[in-house]
Structure 1
């Protein structure tokens, strides 16, 4: 018997590209003379897309239904960028199965509609699907979820299903380096469908007898794996990807739908907030002030590029605010010594990324922009640093209010080792909107 598995991952609400993939699957699957499945490996949802924001991911689930998805797992965007309640309701109308073995509530229950593994029988062959997602513990805890070690969760689930399956497929939203380790730890895996690190393989990659397949990001590719099975055992396995440019083009109207869904007026008066990334503007000053007030910090640092678009309108709608601040970025309170705070200030003055094209870590803009400090001052020529009008003392403790992407190690490595409180589920745009209203 042959089985073809189509797979997508890290769509991140690039819905026009996904519509092309859906159209391709609708053409390709009926042409096959053997069984097929379509699996999504997580991060289909991304609230940087207005239509996803407006529906808290429900529109994405509708599109997965339309594409006749058979099975999906969750990525960090489904798990961490929507509220606890929203994740519990995300799959209420799903016409496909969902599995993930390592996310639980405080009572030890999986999110609604999600199973710890899934067994599907095709022509007498039992296929076990086990999935896990990346272990971003502080974020999940802030949303009242517990996320366990993905490797141990997969091992436990495989052991629990011993004797119940013939073929083992892992849906991994943990990343390529984890997948490579998985090949060594559990070589009886037949196939790993990977994601999270946005990698792809043109023809798959064999590692310790395990076939790894992945389809990049943003709907750039759809993956296709073919398993040849004899006597309930995989005897041959191949993988390839189809670039989106080769798929049917389709007409979509997500932009118009987004404007309609987010048309509610927030401010019924003209607002003029131009965007500047290389200098402080009224928009970035107001954003820094709103971060300062929300975090109840001693001082705040942000980057000007967080303001992605001007807000110049006679009436401000939810759509305008989303376009200005599309990031799935949360705020943090970082407890640190005066000495470390001085190091942060010194590093910020180098403005290393002011003209850098940046992406990732939740940032959904283009130019990173210059750093903006609020309630933090310095006399550089005298190496004196201030919170308000008080000089910073090395051995005193301070609270820095900032954005979560600064705590991951790239921009301010010294923050990664500090005491960090993640403030969720509010995003930057939620906080800025409240500031506009006051």
Structure 2
């Protein structure tokens, strides 16, 4: 008989406030484990640029912390994959002491990403061969914008499973940053997989879920829970029992030094960002959209220019803090615009511009106080829609820069990719010719604009 214990984390999203407890849990689990073999895996989205230290270090601080925990393997999530430029991701794991298992991210030349391995085989002390595979959510619209060739699971899974089986692995573990629906589908199609460690959709399986004989495990989000899987094997290296459970981080004992460490991580990041000066503005840019110098109106100019557009639309909920008169640093911009959101140039004919504006007007009152979550948004409410270059009269005629819409003429509108993914403006997705402008986040676009308009004296 043989026992294997697996501890797994997922979707930590740079929630450093939970890291001290997680680190102690891992250390204690490893030390007190009576299992014959202990493994530690991370299933992606370990980093999130909303945290100042992650932003300031391009995620290297997250990798440094993971190194200290001695992970056996990890895969990537969309925050690593799409929250970094091609070059940043290519070098994110340069100093990692663990392998990155990722079977569906390629260079355009057909070579697997340099930092990745398609699978990993580990042999336990008792001779059991454990095959570990990993996949990330294939955002086929956005990865190519970062010069990556992202591939679909239905194409990439079969050859890797076949290779693992040819290696005569006794246990197959999938690190899946694909979401719960895809995990359940994979379990139905590939019963030879023994355990799926899930993530991406932030689902929590407190006691695991059994689908078609495949054990699904998932530990929610933000390090609020830590996952554990226990496997029992017979002398022929066949699994006879498998179970999963999660441990709420809130139930773990805090130590006095935790708070100091947690605040120290944010301070360290903010110190680096504050040292990088961007511009010197002559007046405060206010989050009040009615103010003489409103933040959103300046940002509308920036996005319209960046997208080379006829008009622009932004929502007030994006702007979390004022930009104070004087020197503006990267810290100020990160606090004001922490979002993983990009500018998007959308080309529409006049009749579809009219339809989009009507959708915005119809949803305006609802969105004003709508609590927004996900899709890269790091604020609280969607807020007020504000136009630049778009006006409407009381007969619902729409004007672009004072000229009435020509229904068959094409117009370019500066929007955000966020508006493509939320369900309120279907015209964008249905008929828009949408160009998401990677790799810069909106704060980077605004930083470049400020630097040119208000250079340091």
Give the structure-2-normalised TM-score.
0.92
Moved more, 17-26 or 269-278: 269-278
Partner of 2:166: 163
Residues 68 and 271 (structure 1), Cα distance of their counterparts in 2 relative to 1, 3 Å cut = farther
Instruction: Return the offset for 1:12.
Output: 0.9
Partner of 1:323: 335
Work out whether 1:344 is the aligned partner of 2:356. Answer: yes
Instruction: Return the offset for 1:30.
Output: 0.7
Partner of 2:14: 13
Question: For residues 169-188 of structure 1, what are the structure 2 equivalents within 5 Å?
Answer: 169-188=173-192
Work out whether 1:24 is the aligned partner of 2:37. Answer: no
Question: For residues 211-360 of structure 1, what are the structure 2 equivalents within 5 Å?
Answer: 211-230=215-234, 231-249=236-254, 250-251=258-259, 252=261, 253-263=264-274, 264-268=276-280, 271-276=283-288, 282-312=294-324, 314-350=326-362, 351=364, 352-360=366-374
Residues 336 and 88 (structure 1), Cα distance of their counterparts in 2 relative to 1, 3 Å cut = same
Partner of 2:201: 197
Work out whether 1:411 is the aligned partner of 2:424. Answer: yes
RMSD: 1.6
Choose from 210, 219, 228 the match for 1:206: 210
Instruction: Return the offset for 1:100.
Output: 0.5
Is the CA contact (8 Å cut-off) linking 1:43 and 1:78 kept in structure 2?
A: yes
Question: For residues 140-151 of structure 1, what are the structure 2 equivalents within 5 Å?
Answer: 140-151=143-154
Q: Distance in 2 between matches of 1:185 and 1:16?
A: 38
Residues 95 and 392 (structure 1), Cα distance of their counterparts in 2 relative to 1, 3 Å cut = same
Instruction: Return the offset for 1:130.
Output: 1.1
Q: Distance in 1 between matches of 2:377 and 2:322?
A: 17
Work out whether 1:384 is the aligned partner of 2:387. Answer: no
Q: Distance in 2 between matches of 1:105 and 1:58?
A: 22
Is the CA contact (8 Å cut-off) linking 1:375 and 1:387 kept in structure 2?
A: yes
Instruction: Return the offset for 1:314.
Output: 4.3
Instruction: Return the offset for 1:20.
Output: 1.9
Choose from 398, 404, 409 the match for 1:396: 409
Instruction: Return the offset for 1:312.
Output: 2.4
- Greater than 3 Å deviation, 4+ residue runs: 268-271, 276-281
Choose from 358, 371, 377 the match for 1:363: 377
Q: Distance in 2 between matches of 1:74 and 1:5?
A: 18
Residues 203 and 281 (structure 1), Cα distance of their counterparts in 2 relative to 1, 3 Å cut = farther
SS of corresponding position for 2:324:
strand
| Deviations 1:245-277, CA, capped at 9 Å, x for gaps | 122422321121112111222234665222237
Instruction: Return the offset for 1:384.
Output: 0.8
Instruction: Return the offset for 1:361.
Output: 0.2
Moved more, 259-268 or 323-332: 259-268
Unpaired runs of at least 5, structure 1: none
Is the CA contact (8 Å cut-off) linking 2:280 and 2:325 kept in structure 1?
A: no
Instruction: Return the offset for 1:278.
Output: 9.0
Is the CA contact (8 Å cut-off) linking 2:132 and 2:174 kept in structure 1?
A: yes
SS of corresponding position for 2:205:
coil
Is the CA contact (8 Å cut-off) linking 1:277 and 1:369 kept in structure 2?
A: no
Q: Distance in 1 between matches of 2:293 and 2:136?
A: 39
SS of corresponding position for 2:284:
strand
Q: Distance in 2 between matches of 1:96 and 1:422?
A: 33
Q: How many residues of Structure 1 are paired with residues of Structure 2 in the alignment?
A: 437
Instruction: Return the offset for 1:362.
Output: 0.3
Q: Distance in 2 between matches of 1:81 and 1:201?
A: 27
Is the CA contact (8 Å cut-off) linking 2:345 and 2:414 kept in structure 1?
A: yes
Instruction: Return the offset for 1:425.
Output: 0.5
Q: Distance in 2 between matches of 1:270 and 1:398?
A: 33
Instruction: Return the offset for 1:328.
Output: 1.0
Instruction: Return the offset for 1:407.
Output: 0.9
SS of corresponding position for 2:17:
helix
Q: Distance in 2 between matches of 1:290 and 1:217?
A: 34
Q: Distance in 1 between matches of 2:433 and 2:173?
A: 38
